[in-house]
Amino acid sequence: MKAIQAALLGIGTVGGGTFEVLNRNSEEITRRAGRPIRIVTVADRNLEHARKVVRDRAQIIDDAFAATQDPQIDIVIELIGGTTVARDLVLSAIEHGKHVVTANKALLAKHGNEIFAAAQKKGVMVAFEAAVAGGIPVIKALREGLSANRIQWIAGIINGTTNFILTEMRNKGLSFAEALKQAQELGYAEADPTFDIEGVDAAHKATIMSAIAFGVPMQFERAHIEGISHLQSIDITYAEQLGYRIKLLGITKMREQGIELRVHPTLVEADQLLANVEGAMNAVLVQADAVGKTLYYGAGAGAEPTASAVIADLVDVTRLHTSDPEHRVPHLAFQPEEVRELPVLPIEETVSCYYLRLSVSDETGVLANVARILAEQGISIHGIRQIAAPAGATRTDVIVLTHETVEKQVNTALAAIEALPAVHGAAVRLRVEHL
Amino acid sequence: MKAIQAALLGIGTVGGGTFEVLNRNSEEITRRAGRPIRIVTVADRNLEHARKVVRDRAQIIDDAFAATQDPQIDIVIELIGGTTVARDLVLSAIEHGKHVVTANKALLAKHGNEIFAAAQKKGVMVAFEAAVAGGIPVIKALREGLSANRIQWIAGIINGTTNFILTEMRNKGLSFAEALKQAQELGYAEADPTFDIEGVDAAHKATIMSAIAFGVPMQFERAHIEGISHLQSIDITYAEQLGYRIKLLGITKMREQGIELRVHPTLVEADQLLANVEGAMNAVLVQADAVGKTLYYGAGAGAEPTASAVIADLVDVTRLHTSDPEHRVPHLAFQPEEVRELPVLPIEETVSCYYLRLSVSDETGVLANVARILAEQGISIHGIRQIAAPAGATRTDVIVLTHETVEKQVNTALAAIEALPAVHGAAVRLRVEHL
């Protein structure tokens, strides 16, 4: 059968990996897809680098827009990243009737609604398995594998950089700054790591999973985002003593009043599989009504793992491109007319358990006051522990673990607790999830 | 759009779960599939039970063959189990142009080649996500999610009954017989547990995964199958002391000379995710060249988890039934003409590390003799440990861990070792996998 012709936009790390894997495994992939899939055009501004990778195996151009308009191209693979030129390129490809495969989570989280609407109108597919959790086929699991279920919540380690840093902080007792430095030296963190360490990357991915799990539009602008740059080693230590590990989780939950969509460092019980996902690996845990809990684990980044997802999409698009658009897998898992406007709840309305660390004067009555204030806010205490103060110290740490509480009640209680004369400075507040 | 009409054959545990979940989540499923999916006919010999479950929500008949021939039916769901009547029913459904969804691993492992050939000829789909690892969408991951890769090996905990028994043996120090009794009382093991505890059920599932991972026919009759009924608590204890846990794994590997396909109790390093899959849960670990390791975890059995997979197949078939057969996902992941006759290697030709337990006289020179014999067979020793004998005992246990070795060399070495005057009885031999 005639080969499917693809244009690859951007031959950086993932682009290079995609080109290599597609060539190396072309026989295997053709045996599966039923026809060859060929990258016939590579567009990159750095022609010299592109030539080094591609050699004479494809046409090399520097104008990516030419590829999106080329009548010979069936599928456009967008791997240049960013949300400006990438958006224009994807929309141009759709406008010209091309199917699109992209790994660009920022683009979809921010402009997915516009892009999917355009694709729907033109009857083309926009596939994005590589946008979440790299090589783990979790988009496919959510959209197709769990289609019988009401998905109730998702909690995922979906950023390898931060998971690597947290693993190093715990295993080696490093500070955040030390662990970040090490991650940068080893290539696990970029020179400007802001997007990763502040949770923005994880929020892009959580936004996408939220949309396809619940059949709602992308609502990135409403996501609550906390990173790990303010996380202190002492809280990792205390959490460990209490039987927890701290992970940066992307969480989305269906609640009666709306959807929760939040990224933050989270205490997870140490014997949970998710707590044992180490280093730069990713894992996504899904709770759904019929199947219960399922977990998907693997490499969340890197040239070839991400290429694996990009190429799986190429094979899917190749299989489905002859079918009528009404019988394809809908972009957001639900038929376009069935996507619903369910609001993301403000963080004050979300429900979680909490870990609170207070620095208090080592004197009687403090715990009683803290417990009273929590009770006044209707916050049920799971445990409260005063850390033994070193000899001669006048201050000590108190750790409170709460049962499930609405966040705004915690806010009110903490304001009152922080106003106590025996409580010094701001409390440290982390969320705890029982997964 | 017009509803898809399905007939459900067999309304036992999984059938009942499927009927219930499809009704309960019909709105959600229709929003995804783009049209309603309705079970309009239920066939079961026990009409009274069927009426209790179904009430007036579908037609109830006792002749399943009538359903396979009914022109109104689009999809036949085979959930009666077994390999005789089920085979006839599935072939009849195919012959009458119906798509088939089945959870029947025994049927596919034994008659899959015949069934898929018939389906191919008639241009219909036979979907079987529920046949392996219950609700975990691992068939979809292998056939579609990892389509870019050369899959190198798969190792899975794919039988919940035996994993429950092994978990109880380890956590509570029970013997196999005690743990089995408990599993039966709790409903995790059947009255006749042979298929589960002897590894046959796991071998059916490993056979199916092997075929779709490597693009080869089903070769169940060549699988090497060892269960856990002979496993002794002492080996679980020793394994634990050495940093391993014992799991019943279904393993399939691509080797240069052919395919390995084997089910047996296996020592797995205790810090591996697979070692920490507890109770009746399942997990499948896949090693592939581009993506590396991915793991899929969830409930491997039960009414609703299995129903989740059955219904996911119904949605898939609903989506794909209008597409031309050449553009569907091939039954064995590879296009039918690309399925290759790669032989399953005899167990003697397989490669593994080994755990050997010898009962020896507590005298000097025994270890030296054992080490010499292993060396003569070219078997490299990872570690050898003599367990301290209780005071007054004249015999003691010696544990040997080997590096990777071809099984036949282990056989030769063990024959020589067992012939040593200081070695008593048969050695215990377990395989060790570094996953």
Q: What is the DSSP string of B376-389?
A: HTTPPEEEEEEPPP
Interval A80-109 mean pLDDT: 98
Looking at the DSSP bridge assignments, the partners of residue A102 are: A78
Is A148–B25 a contact, with Cβ atoms under 8 angstroms apart?
yes
d(CA A63, CA A67): 7
- Where do you find CATH 3.40.50.720 in chain A? 4-134+303-338
* Numbered ranges of CATH 3.30.70.260 in chain A: 350-433
Q: At what angle do helices A105-122 and A85-95 cross, to 10 degrees?
A: 20
Which has the closest alpha carbon to B9: B70, B29, B139? B70
Which tokens is A335 given?
A: 């038929």
Instruction: Spell out where B50-203 has E strands.
Output: 59-61, 75-78, 99-102, 126-127, 151-157
Q: Do A305 and B290 touch (CB under 8 A)?
A: yes
Minimal Cβ distance to A137: which of B32, B141, B310 = B141
pLDDT at A391: 84
Cα A295 to Cα A136, A145, A258: the distances in Å are 10, 12, 24
* Nearest chain A residue (CA) to B271: A276
Q: What is the dihedral of CA A193, A196, A200, A201, to 10 degrees?
A: 130
Structure confidence at residue A325 (pLDDT): 81
Which fold, B4-137+303-338?
Rossmann fold (3.40.50)
DSSP B14-47: HHHHHHHHHHHTHHHHHHHHSS-EEEEEEE-S-H
Q: Chain A residues with CB inside 8 Å of B288's CB?
A: 308
Average pLDDT rounded to a whole number, residues B349-377: 95
**What pLDDT sits at residue B425?**
95
Question: Looking at residue B276, what is its pLDDT?
Answer: 93
Summarize pLDDT for B159-172 with one digit per residue, the tens.
999 999 999 999 99
Higher pLDDT, A328 or B283: B283
How far apart (Å, rounded) are the C-alpha atoms in residues B263 and B250? 4
**Half-sphere exposure for A328 (CA within 13 Å, toward CB):** 24
Burial of A324 (0-12, 13-18, 19+ CB in 10 A): exposed
Half-sphere exposure of A168 (CA within 13 A, CB side): 22
Which stretch of DSSP H or E encloses residue B235? helix B233-241
What angle in degrees, to the nearest 10, is found between the helix axes of B366-376 and B407-418?
A: 150
**Mean pLDDT calculated for residue range A19-28:** 97
Query: ∠ CA(A235), CA(A240), CA(A246), 5° rounding?
Result: 60
Catalytic residue among A205, A247, A293, A408: A205
pLDDT band at B321 (very low <50, low <70, confident <90, very high): confident
Nearest to B279 by CA among B174, B191, B133, B157: B157
Question: Which of B14, B29, B294 is the mutation pick for testing A, counting most A CBs within 10 A?
Answer: B294
Q: In this complex, do A329 and B319 lie within 8 Å of one another by their Cβ atoms?
A: yes
User: Under 8 Å CB-to-CB from B376, ≥6 apart: which residues?
Assistant: B413, B416
Please say whether the beta carbons of B270 and A268 come within 8 A: no
pLDDT at A191: 92
Residue B116 near residue B211 (C-beta atoms within 8 A): no
Contact assignment for A308 to B148 by CB distance below 8 Å: yes
pLDDT tier, A322 (very low <50, low <70, confident <90, very high otherwise): confident
Chain A residues within 8 A of B319 when measuring between CB atoms: 327-329
Query: Could you tell me the pLDDT band of residue B363, with boundaries at 50, 70 and 90?
Result: confident
Q: CB A21 to CB B290 under 8 A?
A: yes
* pLDDT of the residue at B167: 97
Contacts of A295 in chain B (CB under 8 A): 283, 295-298
State residue B176's pLDDT score.
97
Binned at pLDDT 50, 70 and 90, residue B324 comes out as confident
**Is residue B325 pLDDT above 90, yes or no?**
no
Q: Which of residues 82-111 of B touch A (CB under 8 A)?
A: none
pLDDT of residue A102: 98
What's the rounded Cα separation, in Å, for the pair B351 and B201? 23
Report the SS3 class of residue B324. coil
Bridge partners of A288, per DSSP, are A151, A292
B328 vs B325 pLDDT, higher one: B328
A269-301 pLDDT per residue, tens: 999 999 999 999 999 999 999 999 999 999 999
**Which residues of chain A does B146 touch, with a Cβ-Cβ cutoff of 8 Å?**
137, 308, 312
Distance CA A207, CA A223 (A): 7
Q: Say if domain A138-299 classifies as CATH 1.20.1250.20.
A: no
Q: What DSSP assignment string belongs to A148-175?
A: TS-EEEEEEE--HHHHHHHHHHHHH---
Which residues from chain B sit within 8 angstroms of residue A214, using beta carbons? none
Task: For A47-79, give one letter per residue: b (16+ CB within 10 A) or e.
Answer: eeebeebbeeebebbeebbebbebeebbbbbbb
Structure token pair of residue A208: 């996408």
Told to judge if B2 belongs to the known catalytic residues of this protein, a careful annotator would answer no
Whether A292 sits inside 8 A of B304 (CB atoms) is: yes
Instruction: Provide the pLDDT for residue B316.
Output: 96
Quote the longest CA-to-CA distance of chain B: 81
Top-level class of domain B348-433: alpha beta
Distance CA A294, CA A149 (A): 12
Distance CA B382, CA B405 (A): 11
Q: What's the token pair of residue A340?
A: 């619903």
SS3 of residue A41 by DSSP:
strand
pLDDT at A96 over 90: yes
pLDDT interval class at A166 (50, 70, 90): very high
CA distance A268 to A248: 10
The residue type found at A122 is K
Nearest to B31 among A215, A276, A323 (CB): A215
Residue B287's closest chain A neighbor by CA? A298
Rounded to whole angstroms, the Cα distance separating B418 from B424 reads: 7
Q: Nearest residue of A to residue B332 by CA position?
A: A32
How confident is the model at residue A392, as a pLDDT? 85
Q: Tens digits of per-residue pLDDT, A329-345?
A: 999 999 999 999 999 99
A residues 247-276 lying closer than 8 A (beta carbon) to B: 271, 273, 276
CA distances from residue A391 to A365, A366, A388, A396 in whole angstroms, order as listed: 20, 19, 9, 11
Q: Give A103-132 pLDDT, tens digit per residue.
A: 999 999 999 999 999 999 999 999 999 999
pLDDT in tens, A176-208: 999 999 999 999 999 999 999 999 999 999 999
Is residue A419 a contact partner of residue A226, using CB atoms and an 8 Å limit?
A: no
Tokens, residue A259: 């959807």
Smallest Cβ–Cβ distance between B148 and the set A29, A290, A328 belongs to A29
Mean pLDDT of the A217-232 span: 97
d(CA B148, CA A41): 19
pLDDT score, position B392: 85
Long-range contacts of B173-178 (CB under 8 A, 24+ apart): B173/B233, B174/B233, B175/B233, B176/B228, B176/B229, B176/B230, B176/B231, B176/B232, B176/B233
- Which of B29, B19, B250 is closest to B133 using CA atoms? B250
pLDDT band at B31 (very low <50, low <70, confident <90, very high): very high
The mean per-residue pLDDT over the stretch A49-62 comes to 97
pLDDT class of A321 with cuts at 50, 70, 90? confident
CA gap A10, B110 in Å, rounded: 47
The contacts of residue B101 (CB under 8 Å, 6+ apart) are B6, B75, B76, B77, B78, B126, B127, B128, B130, B310, B313, B314, B317
Q: d(Cα A246, Cα A237) in Å, to the nearest integer? A: 10
Contact B297 A297 (CB under 8 A): yes
The rounded distance, in Å, linking the Cα atoms of B399 and B413 is 15
Interface test with A, best of B21, B136, B147 (most A CBs within 10 A): B147
Cα gap B18→B38, rounded to integer Å: 11
Give the Cβ contact number of residue A225 at 10 Å: 19
Q: Are B241 and B355 contacting, i.e. CB atoms less than 8 angstroms apart?
A: no
**How many beta-carbon pairs below 8 A join chains A and B?**
238
Contact A32, A64 (CB under 8 A): no
| CB-based contacts of B245, cutoff 8 Å, min separation 6 | B170, B236, B239, B267, B268, B270, B275
Looking at chain B, which residues constitute the CATH 3.30.70.260 domain(s)? Answer: 348-433
For chain A, where do the domains classified as CATH 3.30.360.10 start and end? Answer: 138-299
- CATH 3.40.50.720 placement within chain B: 4-137+303-338
pLDDT in tens, B377-392: 999 999 999 988 888 8
Query: What was the pLDDT predicted at B322?
Result: 80
Q: Are B332 and B211 in contact (CB under 8 A)?
A: yes
Do the Cβ atoms of B334 and A29 come within 8 Å?
no
Asked if B32 lies within 8 A of A323 by C-beta distance, the reply is: no
Q: According to the model, what pLDDT value does residue B236 have?
A: 97
Cα–Cα dist A415/A409, whole Å? 10
Whole-angstrom distance, CA of residue B76 vs CA of residue B18: 13
Is B342 in CB contact (< 8 Å) with chain A? no
Residues 6 or more apart whose CB falls under 8 angstroms from that of B68 comprise B7, B9, B76, B89, B92, B93, B96, B98
User: If you average pLDDT over residues A7-26, what whole number do you get?
Assistant: 97
Interface test with A, best of B21, B31, B332 (most A CBs within 10 A): B31
Of A347, A151, A332, A331, the C-alpha closest to A253 is: A151
A151-157/A423-433 β-pairing: unpaired
Q: Which A-chain residues 115-134 have CB contacts (< 8 A) with chain B?
A: 129, 134
Q: What is the mean pLDDT of residues A352-366?
A: 94
The verdict on a CB contact (< 8 Å) between B310 and A17 is: no
Which two three-digit tokens encode residue B422? 């200081």
Phi, psi for B50 (deg, rounded to 5): -60, -40
Query: Domain A350-433: what homologous superfamily?
Result: ACT domain (3.30.70.260)
pLDDT digits (tens, 9 = 90+) for A388-421: 888 888 899 999 999 999 999 999 999 999 999 9
Q: Two tokens at A101?
A: 């495969």
Residue A273: count other Cβ atoms within 10 Å of its Cβ: 21
Interface mutation target, options A30, A138, A149, A316, chain B, most CBs of B under 10 Å: A149
B150 and A297: CB-CB below 8 Å? no
CATH H-level superfamily of A4-134+303-338:
NAD(P)-binding Rossmann-like Domain (3.40.50.720)
Burial of A81 (0-12, 13-18, 19+ CB in 10 A): middle
- Band of residue B393 on the pLDDT scale cut at 50, 70, 90: confident
